[in-house]
Structures are given as C-alpha cells and as structure tokens.
Amino acid sequence: MIDLHCHILPGVDDGALDIRDSAGLARQAAGDGIEAICATPHIRHDHDVRIEEIAERVEAVNRRLRGEGIPVTVLSGGEVAETAVEALGEEELERVALGAGRWILLEPAPGPLSESLERRVDHLAERGHRALVAHPERHLSEDMYERIARLVGLGALVQATADFFLREEMAAGMLGLAGAGLVHVLSSDAHSSHGGRPAKLSAAFERLATVEPAASHLEWIRETAPRAIVEGRDVERPY
C-alpha cells in the first residue's frame, strides 16, 4: 500500500516532532503493510515550510529509515492549501507534487466546499496538473455531495481519511460518501506516532469492502490509483 497523505517530515509543520517520531510513524506504516509514504507538509500561509528544502528533508528521513531497517520509502509531496496554489511557481508545484510528478494534494479552505475550490482544480489542470482533494469529510454542507461530484467531473480525485471509517461518530458518513462513488483513495493524514490518527490503512479498507461501488474496486482504490498517482500517470476512474 501507499499512503499519499502523511505529515512525516519532522519539525516543519504540525506533524512529526523529531526524526524519532518520523521513524515511529514509519514503523506503524510498515506493520500495516504500507511500503511508501508521501511526505505532505502543509503548504499554506500559517506554516513556514520551505518548499526548496522538502527533497533534502525527505532524503534525511529515508536515511534514518534505512539505518533502522524500516522497510518504508518516503516520497516527496505537499498538502497545498487551495488559497496558496495559485501563488506557486511551476518549479514549486513540481516539488510538492505527490511522488514523481503531476498530482497535487489540494486542501480545501475551511468551511463548506465552494466554487473557489473548483476554480483551483481548473487552475491546476490548465498548468498540466491533476488534483487529489484532501479530506472532504471535514467540509459538511447540504450540497457537499453535489460539490464533490462537480470536482470529480473536473478531473479531480478524492482522498478520504482512513481513521474516520473506524470512528463510530463518523463511519456512517464516510461509508455514505463511498457508497455515492465519491471516495477514490484512502490515506492516513497521520501527524505523530505519539497519538492521533495512526499511519495505518488496512482496517479502513476492511470497512470500505462492505459498501459498493468501492467493494468491487478495492484493488483499484488500494493499489492501482495510488501507484499511478505517485508515478505521475493519468488515472481512469472505474466508477
């Protein structure tokens, strides 16, 4: 499995506290069968993440993991706020793309989803990039399904947070999104090995297997789509 959304880089945003915490997240991931993690520090105005340093910081974590024998590879990426994406230059966009290239993990602005997010998805497409919309479950509104469907129609895919499928107060809503065909990949959005959401996906996939159309396309959600995303390839939705 590949985790496309994890704050594993130490000391750059609200994620891992230090390199030991990064290694702890990687151990969690390895124990769950995750082989690769996209480091996705927040690219937004309230975090001083220096995009030009991401690749070097990723390699520093990989050196630590190799030294400790943890069988996980960390890939470059970023969680780009919709309010920040238009200000990024082309080289910056390439540096925060997930893995090898074209897919941008796009974080909606707080509050209900709006037309501004659709404009940012279009903006990325005009620049040759595809959007993976992060944690839509945070943006509840009466027209949420309709707005997510419009984003998908514009070429975006939707990333749901794995841990929320396991929380009693949120599971029904998450399965409802999946049942509407509006979940395309699962990611951990883990921030620390000391608490909060763990760097684990497998239990959420077990829950996802109980609802169609996800159940019939679980291999696509778990393997095919994430691998294509980190390799910078186009993804054709099967549902």
The b/e string for 183-196 (b: 16+ C-beta within 10 A; e otherwise) is bbbbbbbbbbbeee
For residues 100 and 220, the model is more confident at: 220
pLDDT in tens, 63-97: 999 999 999 999 999 999 999 999 999 999 999 99
Specify the pLDDT at position 177: 95
Provide the pLDDT for residue 136. Answer: 84
What would be the CATH architecture of the domain defined by 2-230? Alpha-Beta Barrel (3.20)
How many Cβ atoms from other residues are within 10 Å of residue 126's Cβ?
8
Give me the pLDDT at residue 141, please: 81
> Can you give the pLDDT at residue 140?
75
Contact 43, 226 (CB under 8 A): no
CB 214 within 8 A of CB 207: no
Query: Dihedral of CA 98/63/29/80: which sign?
Result: negative
pLDDT band at 137 (very low <50, low <70, confident <90, very high): confident
Alpha helical stretches, state H, 87-138 = 90-96, 115-126
Tell me, what's the pLDDT at 211?
A: 97
- Nearest C-alpha neighbor of 75 from the set 99, 57, 55: 99
**pLDDT band per the 50, 70, 90 thresholds, residue 52:** very high
Check if the beta carbon of residue 17 is closer than 8 Å to that of residue 192.
yes
pLDDT in tens, 106-127: 999 999 999 999 999 999 999 9
C-beta pairs of 135-139 under 8 Å, 24+ apart in sequence: 135/5, 135/107, 135/159, 135/160, 135/161, 135/189, 136/108, 136/160, 136/177, 136/182, 137/161, 137/164, 137/170, 137/173, 137/174, 137/177, 138/108, 139/108, 139/111, 139/112, 139/113
pLDDT confidence bin for 138, thresholds 50/70/90? confident
Residue type, 116: S
Residue 95, both tokens:
């540096």
Please check the confidence at residue 3 and state whether its pLDDT lies above 90: yes
Residue 139 has pLDDT above 90, yes or no: no
Residues 6 or more apart from 209 whose CB is under 8 A from it?
Answer: 215, 218
For residue 109, give the nearest of 143, 130, 79 by alpha carbon.
79
Whether 47 has a pLDDT exceeding 90, the answer reads no
Q: Where are the domains of the chain?
A: 2-230
Q: Cα angle at 103 between 100 and 106, to 5 degrees? A: 135
Residue 131 has pLDDT above 80, yes or no: yes
Over residues 151-199, the pLDDT tens digits come to: 999 999 999 999 999 999 999 999 999 999 999 999 999 999 999 999 9
Please give the pLDDT value at position 101: 85
Q: CB of 73 within 8 A of CB of 35? A: yes
Question: 53: Cβ–Cβ under 8 A, 6 or more apart, which residues?
Answer: none
- The sign one gets for the Cα dihedral 118, 171, 13, 31 is negative
